Structure 1
Amino acid sequence: MSTSTAPAAPRPGIETTGIEIIDEAERTAVPRDLFWPWFAANVSVFGISYAAFVLQFGISFWQGAVVTVLGIVVSFLLCGLVAVAGKRGSAPTMILSRASFGVVGQKVPGVISWLTSIGWETFLAILAVLATSTIFERLGWGGGTATKVVAALVVAALIVSASVAGYHVIMRMQSVLTWLTGIVTILFVVVAAGHIEWSAVGSVASGPPQAVVGAFVMLMTGFGLGWVNIAADWSRYQRRDASSTAVVAWNTFGGAIAPVLLVLFGLMLAASDEKVLEGIPADPIGTLATILPTWFLVPFLVAVILSLVSGAVLGIYSSGLTLLSLGVRIPRPAAAGVDGVILTLGTIWVVFFAQDFLGPFQSFLITLGVPLAAWAGIFIADLLLRRDDYDAGPDGGRALFDSRGRYGSWDWVAIGTMALASVVGWGLVVNGFAQDAAWNNWQGYLLEPLGLGTYVTEGEGAPYWDGNWPYANIGVLLALVIGFGVTFVARRSTVRRQERAAEAPVAEPAA
């Protein structure tokens, strides 16, 4: 345990540390440091747009307010628990997950994690480029091809350069972005508050319990659950003597406080203005810009771009670490650069060439949310079962990188649990982009057998699901619960065996 009384200053320059265990001397962060990256990545006026999605479940403002607080806070609480693993193991999330799935078996959830991270951060970059085009067009500066080309290059350069620089630069950058985006976001709320009509807010009718559950799941998936697979990446530099409770609290508070307040404000705004409610699904940034005076459009655009870039930087940095955990043997900056190139190419393709890609793209990413929820349940249960730190013992950090060590090569219980939870979960969620991504309409196969809904393939607007339960998407919650419950019971003896092996002396190599 560290006996240092004051954290050392972060190293300047590019971070060269990859997926290895962080050296004791480098573990200088304290729990409150976690506030900055999580707050900066989630303080965005784009969060206001989620309010329209909440109300479109057909629920009232007060129902929406309750699920907003619960859904966002619970989802970031999951991130906080995963962050404890980073402090206890001083390694990236997908390396620590080898204790659950085996050193080789971890590649199964690792691939899903990498696809999810690179996909969502590409989506954020696309939104930043489209937002620039929308605002420029509103200002009369032209929002055509030239604007999009410049915006794509600038956004990609910001994301890639920061992610290549690494942890220390990103932490300093996020502390600055927190203030910049936070101030402009507060100004947006002040300016837009005049559009709120309290009589309209109070008159929104209540919806059925299934719709409330659906809004809750949507908020969990859109916020904390989308970050859960990278949460330990930002806590691996924490001091060993840091309070686990404080790590959870600062992670949860930093991630949840801004989205909760912004979505609550968005609920009032969307309930007051029918044009905002209907326009956000097609053009979130552009719709919010329509209620602003011209003088505020430029700072609004800057805040939107910086907040989206901030979130994308966290994802690309972590997706680079995940790429290394899959066995790609290149330096960490190069891994971040590779993912940055993929992000750039994906952004260019969607913005300039794809005719019908955004809907299918989102459908694919949301589908990955089910196995990701299953992984989160498995990982958190495994963490809670452990009495000792990861890889504690005389072998000094080698077991997470040696398939012959105590974590083994494959853990078939964990892999089987993830498969089971995913199969059940996919059977109880539906494709929200049925028209754009018809190839993904195989989901929801358990709804009709269980009497929870009817799949309509004829008539206007077909295909669609009829009933209250299909769009509740309870499969995400069930995948999380199954992953947690099965692991907590079935892997208890395995964890104890691993910890006993940690206490055994390691034989000296032959002379």
Structure 2
Amino acid sequence: MTSDASAEPPPGAAPSAPRHAPLLETTGIEIVTDAQRTARPHHLFWPWFAANVSVFGMSYGSYLLGFGISFWQASIVAVVGIVVSFALCGLVAIAGKRGSAPTMVLSRAAFGVDGQRLPGIASWLTSIGWETSLTITAVLATATVFEALGWATGTLVSVLATLAIAGLVVTASVLGYHTIMRLQSVLTWLTGLCTVVFMLMTIPHIHWDAVAAQPAGSAQQMLGALTMVMTGMGLGWINIAADWSRYQRRSTSDGAIVAWNVIGGSVAPVVLVVFGLLLAGSDPELAAGIESDPLGALVTLLPLWALIPFWIVAVLTLVSGAVLGIYSSGLTLLSLGIRIPRPAAAAVDGLILTAGTIWVVFFAQDFVGPFQSFLITLGVPIASWAGILIADILTRRRDYDEAALFDRRGRYGSVDWTSVTTMVIASVLGWGLVVNGYADDAPWNNWQGYLLGPLGGKDGTWAYSNLGVLAALVLSFAVTLIARHPTIRRQEKQ
């Protein structure tokens, strides 16, 4: 590596994994060796399924109906949005197999070694936000269950729940990849089974007449719901997709990588969201309760004897998702140039997660509003980045030059101004085409929607379609596919 290469771990091989994978993963953002790449495609099922089988997915039923669409419209939106968004994750995961490094390091091939810091910051904020929101949901559910059982309530319960849940998330994340994969393989069976039991117990609460009576909405309302599902499902994970495929064997087919990402990520959410639509459509009071405490509202449907097992499983599924987020946010932190060991990076993000959870649980008045607003705001630049990276992946014919990913004098250069400019412009355009639907809860986002004038303004029919997210994704993909094609060909000839 040249003398002015970015100040990061050497691009050479990470230490070979022992015969039996260690409990603590020391590999950070450096290249994973062929000896360590022992995972098979179906192994990708475990982390994606375990992180998305949470009963929390049922709450999306309430969110979708909140757009003013019918059960059938919402069901179509759910299936299409979930499958397509996880298919996009699968395309990004291909890069992990081709380059043996985390997602944000591989993204340097499209943005340059230094230029990658722009999407890296957006990715880090997204991961931190997701993992914090999952932890918050687990804490709120704990307080609700304890109150329903007549046990201790109040500040002490919330404090202890915050410390215990955050502790679980941080511990697993600090231990790393091998521990997480073992944990997820266990949680998959446990949470999957208990989720089925929950569904069977709550079937009597479904009233088809009420569900069928939901009026149909407009195409714009369906588009808004579709964008929300895509942003909250696959696009919410897309910035970490290659983190889990970098341990795949080089001989693994691209199709297998995509397929197992889609299967693992989509199977549970499709079933859970549709079932959540049936519950929310049957009971307006339940749908309203989900707005402030998603899991807590769902617990009210269960008899007292079932609360404890439901609570344990619900918390574990949320912890499962948060673990994936904090593990990857630590890797992203390292990719930004922070020179600390990977376990320390995960611990730092764990402290931020704990602080954010404390703030929302004890001081914020509402959770869903700011969360939805946060999703759409960061969803725009992340969608743009995803469009750029997917176009880059589909255009390349060869594996990545792994050493060049760490060398600003290498074939990927310091800054790819085409990609950086595309992301900036697409984000500015995208933010102008989304509107903050939670103006009272998140007034800091009321600046958005400045390009909606020709479409009827912020009160028009297109205002809440969140068109900006899809626009940023498609525009960035199209521009990159055309504008960077010659650059990629030059890179591959060097």
TM-score category by the smaller chain? over 0.9
Opposite residue 465 of structure 2, the aligned amino acid is: A
Aligned pairs (5 A) from 1:295-444: 295-354=305-364, 359-360=369-370, 362-391=372-401, 397-444=402-449
Match status 1:227 vs 2:237: yes
Describe the superposition over 1:404-435 as per-residue Cα deviations: whole angstroms up to 9, x where unpaired. 11000000000000011101110110112201
Opposite residue 400 of structure 1, the aligned amino acid is: L
Which residue of structure 2 lines up, in the alignment, with residue 155 of structure 1? 165
Which residue of structure 2 lines up, in the alignment, with residue 207 of structure 1? 217
- Aligned-residue Cα RMSD (Å) equals 1.4
**1:364 to partner: Cα distance:** 3.5
- Answer yes or no: is the 8 Å Cα contact 2:78–2:274 preserved in 1: yes
Q: Distance in 1 between matches of 2:130 and 2:40?
A: 28
Match status 1:468 vs 2:461: yes
Opposite residue 323 of structure 2, the aligned amino acid is: V
Moved more, 377-386 or 196-205: 196-205
Q: Distance in 1 between matches of 2:368 and 2:258?
A: 34
Q: Distance in 1 between matches of 2:185 and 2:368?
A: 32
Q: Distance in 1 between matches of 2:152 and 2:313?
A: 20
Q: Distance in 2 between matches of 1:41 and 1:144?
A: 29
Which residue of structure 2 lines up, in the alignment, with residue 453 of structure 1? 456
- Answer yes or no: is the 8 Å Cα contact 2:292–2:366 preserved in 1: no
**Residue 267 of structure 2 is aligned with which of 232, 257, 275?**
257
Which residue of structure 2 lines up, in the alignment, with residue 103 of structure 1? 113
Opposite residue 339 of structure 2, the aligned amino acid is: R
Q: Distance in 2 between matches of 1:15 and 1:54?
A: 39
Match status 1:493 vs 2:486: yes
SS in 2 for 1:281: helix
Q: Distance in 2 between matches of 1:359 and 1:331?
A: 36
**1:207 to partner: Cα distance:** 1.0
**1:271 to partner: Cα distance:** 1.2
Opposite residue 170 of structure 1, the aligned amino acid is: I
Which residue of structure 2 lines up, in the alignment, with residue 508 of structure 1? none
Count of residue pairs brought into register by the alignment: 478
Which residue of structure 1 lines up, in the alignment, with residue 476 of structure 2? 483
**Residue 128 of structure 1 is aligned with which of 138, 142, 145?**
138
Describe the superposition over 1:73-122 as per-residue Cα deviations: whole angstroms up to 9, x where unpaired. 00100111111110111100000000000000000100110011011111
Match status 1:270 vs 2:280: yes
Task: Compute the TM-score of the two structures, normalised by the length of structure 1.
Answer: 0.91
Which residue of structure 1 lines up, in the alignment, with residue 302 of structure 2? 292
Match status 1:238 vs 2:248: yes
- Answer yes or no: is the 8 Å Cα contact 2:376–2:469 preserved in 1: no
- Answer yes or no: is the 8 Å Cα contact 2:110–2:416 preserved in 1: yes
**1:363 to partner: Cα distance:** 2.6
- Answer yes or no: is the 8 Å Cα contact 1:350–1:358 preserved in 2: no
**Residue 142 of structure 1 is aligned with which of 152, 159, 163?**
152
Q: Distance in 2 between matches of 1:206 and 1:436?
A: 27
Q: Distance in 2 between matches of 1:480 and 1:118?
A: 22
Describe the superposition over 1:421-464 as per-residue Cα deviations: whole angstroms up to 9, x where unpaired. 1011101101122012223111001111x2x233xxxxxxxxxx
- Answer yes or no: is the 8 Å Cα contact 2:137–2:293 preserved in 1: no
SS in 2 for 1:25: coil
Q: Distance in 2 between matches of 1:119 and 1:201?
A: 33
- Answer yes or no: is the 8 Å Cα contact 2:70–2:214 preserved in 1: yes
**1:277 to partner: Cα distance:** 2.0
Which residue of structure 2 lines up, in the alignment, with residue 506 of structure 1? none
**Residue 283 of structure 1 is aligned with which of 290, 293, 318?**
293
> Identity percentage over the alignment?
67
**1:65 to partner: Cα distance:** 0.9
Which residue of structure 1 lines up, in the alignment, with residue 45 of structure 2? 35
Which residue of structure 1 lines up, in the alignment, with residue 6 of structure 2? none
Runs ≥4 residues deviating over 3 A: 7-10, 353-362
Q: Return closer, same or farther for 1:361/1:61 CA change in 2, 3 Å cut-off.
A: closer
SS in 2 for 1:23: coil
Q: Distance in 2 between matches of 1:212 and 1:407?
A: 40
Q: Distance in 1 between matches of 2:219 and 2:26?
A: 50
Q: Return closer, same or farther for 1:382/1:122 CA change in 2, 3 Å cut-off.
A: same
Q: Structure 2: 5+ residue runs without aligned partners?
A: 1-16
**1:356 to partner: Cα distance:** 6.5
Larger radius of gyration: 1
- Answer yes or no: is the 8 Å Cα contact 1:86–1:236 preserved in 2: yes
Q: Distance in 2 between matches of 1:126 and 1:492?
A: 43
Task: Compute the TM-score of the two structures, normalised by the length of structure 2.
Answer: 0.94
